[in-house]
Structures are given as structure tokens and as C-alpha cells.
Structure 1
């Protein structure tokens, strides 16, 4: 990569049709804006990130190699290549992009500890990172023996809100730490950092789901609260909303909520795969086995490295062996 290689950004001004490609040097790229030095004039301009259609920037050989490994599902090799890329990349905004790719590779491996450590590095440089959707939070309601649990105990008492949020999320289902984790989330729910605040509020829904005494009115209130959550951070809230509707056996609404995640908020492949699986489960509960089969097959094909893949394959085998394709009449919409 040449040190003087040229960047380009494609910009589409709000409410305009078509876009312009601008030769430039990208000085910074954050959640809110991109700052560039336009070429050949040298004038510095700032554009809202919402107007950025695409960014073209030179990448090192190591960066390109990491992308190839990631695409091929070779996650350890990808992380290794991205690590080498970090050692030779001087641009702060590109270093954040590489860290985001490393987090995605770790999430694909279901390695929340590695993902969390990289995430902390990324947000140290940009607290409101445009990749905040990669934060490794637990959105399930069952207790899991996460390898990150030991580290989470330290994060829970940190002064850093992001560390607290990740620690509380992991420990909320741990019996010995549940009360402490809930207290931390209630405190974080008043944070001035909107990302932290809204994710903490949504995380607290997990306790309501564990208690199991939800009403349809409460779920409708959660659905209204979705509008307050930044658009790119809605995946976990949709997952919990789907879980709630499934508990109330409102399977049509559950399936719709779960499907928002793989269709629109696909940053965490493990969560997307689980959401796809649960959407299919809801369709089975409604008697729509043909549609469910397609979703199980999609889970296997689209998320071959996920923890949900094996369960989806078992459901495919079970449905194909059964008489379930003599479908029941569709249930009434709920």
C-alpha cells in the first residue's frame, strides 16, 4: 500500500437521488461523521455518516488477506492476519475498522472474551464507535458458563461504563452475581451515553423474561420503546421481544420479531443464527412446517459456524422424517 494512495468516498446528500464520488484523504470516520481533505483542492470538509454510501481506501496486504480468511470462515487465520495489519496500519480510523473485523471473527467463533477485549480497544479510541453494534452482550435468559465470566467479575466493578455493561450482561444469569449485575444495569440505564443507556435498559428486560409473568401490554410497551434505541443497536431488543411473544404463545409476532435480526441487524452471526432458529421454531408451533423447514435450512446454509447450526440440522431431519408436511390449517393471526 502506498502511503500516498488515494481515498474516495461516495456521498448521497439527504433526500437526493444519485450520489457523488469524491477523491480525498479520509482524516476520520466515526458514527456521526466523516472528515476528509478533498483533492486536489486540499479543503477540509465534514459530511454526516448517514450520507456516506461507500468508502474506498487502500488496504495493506495483511488487511486484504484477513478479509479473504474471514469470508472463507477461517476465523483464526483472519484474526492473525488482522493482527499483522494492525502492526503496520497507522491511520486511526482504519485501525478501528480492523478491530471491528477482529471482533466479528471472534463473535463468529462464539468467543465472547476475545471479542470483548477487542471491543474495549476499539471504543477507547472512539467511545461512540460506529461499530458499537458489535458489543458482545448476552441476550439469552438461561444461565451459561461463559468463558468470559471470570473477566466479567472485574468488569462489573470497573469505572468504565462499557466494561460494566459487558460484565453485567454476562453475569445477569449467574446466581451469585445476579443482584449485583442488575444493580449495575439500573445505574447504566441513566448513563449520558445513549448507546450504553439504551442497551442497559433493554438488558433489564431479560429479568422480566426470566420471571415469566409478562403481559401482552408490557410487550407492547417494549415495542414502543424500540424507537428510543439507536437503529444499529436494536438486534438484542428484538430478540428479547421475540422471546417474550414466544412465552405468551403469540408465535406470529414472535417469528416476526426474531426475523428482524438476520434480515436487518446481522452484525452478530451467533445471535442472528439463534434468531433464525427461533423464528423457525415459532413457525412450527403455528403448524407452518414448510416455511419452518426453509428457515432451518437457511440457518444451516447461512450460519454454518454457529452454535445453532446443529440444532437446525436436527430439526430438518426430524421434519423430513415426519408427516408434518400434511400441514395443519394456519392458526389465526395473533
Structure 2
């Protein structure tokens, strides 16, 4: 058979036997990006391979081989086609197995070939370290994340201290260095947030926060202002509490959890249990993966319902705390209270 006659058959064979399965594999492994169209009902879906994703834009290579750039502000959801290693890490994180997720993310990170995936891993590790009692590693991971992308989409993962938790010796040393000579406003904010729990450093921390409250980055300035409320809520009057409550709406939704927690604490002190419970419950709703504030907010909200005689609501919140925050120091207290309510 002449070669010219054989070529079409060979080409067809290659297409059917090799290229189509390969194309099907690429299609199955495609990343998906949902973006806002011209109207609220208009949602566009783009499939392809994400090559970068930061605080400004997402860049994706679509089926034709062309690059498409989508402003981050228009993105509604990103559905990455994770590798098996990344999918395993994400699953452990979603289950609240933060210790297991740390090892899984480290393994996945060794094979991560794109900067946006490595930044995603840093954000997840920030939360995992914080939730497993290693805030010094959480702060270091987040600082590295912001160094890579100052406008990071993961800013909501910033590991600030909203409770009376004391810094570890390693974090105290790190935070003091950041406060003395910060390379960024984020480092100064983290340093002030954690050193503020130490009486001997509180004045210095407050001065830093007051300075950061005028920072041109609204995320920094609003969070610094909210952090100052940690020192103000115990003595705040009704008017001051109302002003603080109104200021929370100025924060992006992914940065409001800590402020709602502090607002709830202030309302508890004002003996307004219904309002306090509603404010407190916003923290675990907005930030279920921030164990420190989510677990304590559930505990305090349950106490408010107990005081109101709403024992079923209180018991439900105690169960939520026990089931989802098993490693939290609050879980043991919740178990004791639940047993008393169920007698």
C-alpha cells in the first residue's frame, strides 16, 4: 500500500487511540473558574489550567491554548483539579484533622509546580499550625505568604490573637523582633497582636496598633482598630459597643470573625444574653476553621442560652463544640455542661 494511502489511516488511528484519551484526560482534570457576568444571574464558567492566581488576577489557559485573565474581584468560585496528594490534604483539612493535614500539605507542597498552589498551601498551613497550638509557625507561614503576594486572597487566614492566649516563647521572641523592626505592616500587626497579651509589652503593642490604624491598606487599618478593641471591651459602655458593632460592617466578610467574638464578649458583660449569643455565633459561622475563637464563641453562646432557660439550644451548641473541636480546651467543659443538661 502506498505510504500516502496509509497516512490517513495512521492519523485516524493516532487520533482515536492516543489523542482522544489524552484530551479526555485533560478535560477531566481541568480547573474550573466561576466568574460574575454582567448581571447577578450571569455566571460564566471557564475550564482549563490555572497558571497563576493572586490578589489581582487569575490567569488560566483554556482549551485553545490561549491565556485568559480574570480580575480576582469578579471571581465567585475556583474549583481546582487537585492532584491526589492535594485532594487528600484538603480532605483532612475539611474534616478538622489539622495535624494530619500538616503532613499531607507538606508532601503535596514538594510536588507543587505553581506559585499559586504553594501560596494556597501556605494559607492552609497557617490555619493548621494555629489550630494545633503552634502560632509561631502560623505567623511565619503567613508572613511568607504575604511576601509572595501582598494582596493575597488568603488574608482572612491571618493568625491574629483575639483571646487572652499567651504567646509561646518562640513567638514572643519573633513578635518582639517584628515589632522592633518590621519588614511589613503585616509583621507589625502580628507582632502587636500577640505581644499585647503580655502585660509588660501591652503599651508598646497598643502604640503600634494605633499607628497601624492609619495604614493606607484598609485591611491593616481596620484590623488594627479591631485589635485595639481587645483592651476596650471590658469597660465599654452601650454607646461605645454600638459604635464598634457598626464598624464591623466596614471589614471584608472574611475578616469579621474576631470582631464579632469581641462584640459578643462585650454584650455578655453588659448582661444582654440574646444579643451576645447572636454576635458570638457569627464567629463560628464565618470562621469555623479558626478554632480558638470559634470554640470559645460556641461555649459562651451556649452559656447565654442556658441563662435564658433555652436548654435545647444550649445543648445543641455544646454538641457542636464537642464534635467539631475535639482538641479544643473548651471541649471538656462543654462535655461536662452537656451531661448536666441531659440529666
Give the alignment's TM-score, normalised by structure 2. 0.84
**2:167–2:194 Cα contact (<8 Å) kept:** no
RMSD (Å) for aligned C-alpha atoms:
2.3
1:184 aligns with 2:208: yes
Give 1:270's match in structure 2, choosing from 267, 292, 301: 292
**1:133–1:267 Cα contact (<8 Å) kept:** no
Q: Indicate how the Cα distance of structure 1 residues 14 and 116 shifts in structure 2: closer, same or farther if over 3 A, else same.
A: farther
Q: CA–CA distance in 1 between the matches of 2:159 and 2:38?
A: 32
Alpha-carbon distance, 1:162 to partner: 1.1
Higher relative CO (CA 8 A, sep ≥ 6), structure 1 or 2? 1
Alpha-carbon distance, 1:138 to partner: 1.1
Q: CA–CA distance in 1 between the matches of 2:195 and 2:297?
A: 22
Could you say what secondary structure the match of 2:235 adopts? Answer: coil
Q: CA–CA distance in 2 between the matches of 1:49 and 1:265?
A: 21
Which structure has more helix as a fraction of its residues?
A: 2
1:194 aligns with 2:218: yes
Q: Which moved more, 1:169-178 or 1:145-154?
A: 145-154
**2:276–2:301 Cα contact (<8 Å) kept:** yes
Q: CA–CA distance in 1 between the matches of 2:202 and 2:134?
A: 22
Alpha-carbon distance, 1:16 to partner: 3.3
1:308 aligns with 2:327: no
Q: CA–CA distance in 1 between the matches of 2:196 and 2:34?
A: 43
**1:34–1:49 Cα contact (<8 Å) kept:** no
Q: Indicate how the Cα distance of structure 1 residues 108 and 83 shifts in structure 2: closer, same or farther if over 3 A, else same.
A: same
Could you say what secondary structure the match of 2:160 adopts? Answer: coil
Q: How many matched pairs?
A: 316
Unaligned regions of 5+ residues in structure 2, if any? 1-24
Partner of 2:260: 238
**1:30–1:49 Cα contact (<8 Å) kept:** no
Q: Indicate how the Cα distance of structure 1 residues 63 and 252 shifts in structure 2: closer, same or farther if over 3 A, else same.
A: same
Give the alignment's TM-score, normalised by structure 1. 0.86
Unaligned regions of 5+ residues in structure 1, if any? 322-334
Q: Which moved more, 1:28-37 or 1:238-247?
A: 28-37
Q: CA–CA distance in 2 between the matches of 1:196 and 1:216?
A: 26
Kindly name which structure, 1 or 2, has the bigger radius of gyration based on alpha carbons: 2
